[in-house]
Amino acid sequence: MRAYQIPFFLPFIYSNRLWSGPASERKISLTFDDGPVLGITDWVLEELEKRGLKATFFMVGDNVRKHPALAQSVMAAGHQIGNHTYHHLSGWKSSTQTYLDDVASCDAILADTVGEAPRFFRPPYGWISPGQAKGLVPAKKIVMWNLLSYDFDPDLSSEILIRECTSRTAPGTIVVFHDQQKTKAQLKKALPDYLDFLVGEGYSTQLLEV
């Protein structure tokens, strides 16, 4: 059973995290985790550019180190960059100090590369301990989502992915995709259709706001 949408009660329990955007206009927030990766992030940028859409890229520090020019082109194109730890750490498997240090390392490489440390943070795997979260807030705003594309699921056909994502998209949606090697093939099949759906249905995109 795939949980495209989060249980309704989670945003009430973790009310200091961002689960959705303003729903007053026909706008959604596109988010891409795990990049920047050459051959996929640059392709995503082109697809967004073609349609005049903006997105938030939650970057892994080690990938920023490998592909600094790509991180800079994300910034230069007017998109938003978020912190996704330096080593894609699981909060579940890391001590609080290790985790906070890793987030700080990601901030440092982003500050060096694109000139600023991000305000927004998304925990890898969506999991962060209360102690880790406490160490990050209020300097960081923790961003979750309310629509998961399952682009990382090799058993999911792109037709079903598109159907599930389009039928669940609504004003204020924060949708998660991944710009990384494992999801590359699926993303290339599904993302253009999803973006065309947004444009066709009169949606535009909004960057995250605190």
Q: Cα separations (Å) of 59 from 23, 137, 161? A: 26, 19, 23
The DSSP element (H or E) to which 71 belongs, if any, is helix 68-76
Please state the closest distance from residue 55 (CB atom) to Zn ion, in A.
Answer: 15
Please state the closest distance from residue 192 (CB atom) to Zn ion, in A.
Answer: 22
The one segment of 49-57, 102-110, 112-120, 122-130 that binds Zn ion by CB under 5 A: 122-130
Residue of 113, 132, 129, 14 lying closest to 59 (CA atoms): 113
Please state the closest distance from residue 180 (CB atom) to Zn ion, in A.
Answer: 8
33 binds Zn ion (CB under 5 A): yes
Rg, the chain, Cα only: 16
DSSP string, 113-134: HHSS--SEE--GGG---HHHHH
How many residues belong to the site for Zn ion (CB under 5 A)?
A: 3
Please state the closest distance from residue 167 (CB atom) to Zn ion, in A.
Answer: 24
**Cβ proximity of 112 and 81 under 8 Å:** no
21, 35, 91, 124: which one binds Zn ion (CB under 5 A) = 124
**Nearest residue (CB) to Zn ion, 126 versus 192:** 126
Binding site for Zn ion (CB under 5 A): 33-34, 124
